[in-house]
Amino acid sequence: MARPREPWNIRPAKRQASVPVALRAEVEAKALDLIQNVLKPRCVKPPKKDKTSNYIIDIQAKWFRNNFYFVSTYACPSPDAISPTFEGKLARMEPLGGGTFALYAMRYTGKEWVGVLDALSVDQCMKAIRDDPWFER
């Protein structure tokens, strides 16, 4: 028997599809290739001369729970910086089942995800992250 929802919870719990080990390995391999051959050459640049602007020093990808994230690491060269580095999320691949993913981009505020594309294969996700303006840094 289904459990009744709490009256204050207006959205039902969203169940994510589990990701098979083979698909996880495929996603990781294609993401690493995309990062090494496209994203790092495009986004990781030498520091600016003004010595106060943040700049990207690394891009990585990792699984967290059931989602796959692309994350950029920024350097903070300013003497007033709270921390020498910080991470900014770039993209999130959420599994939908059947080898498809929903693709999300982080808003400019850095606080919420925007659903960009839906029901994409791994190759389509990598192409979108490479070419779509939502994922430019």
Query: What are the residues whose beta carbons fall under 8 Å from the beta carbon of 106, sequence distance 6 or more?
Result: 88, 89, 90, 91, 92, 112, 113, 114
Q: Give the pTM.
A: 0.81
- Whether residue 114 contacts residue 132, with contact meaning beta carbons closer than 8 Å, is answered with no
Binned at pLDDT 50, 70 and 90, residue 109 comes out as confident
What residue segments make up the domains of the chain, in order of their start? 21-135
Between 91 and 111, name the one with better pLDDT: 91
pLDDT band of residue 17 (cuts 50, 70, 90) is: low
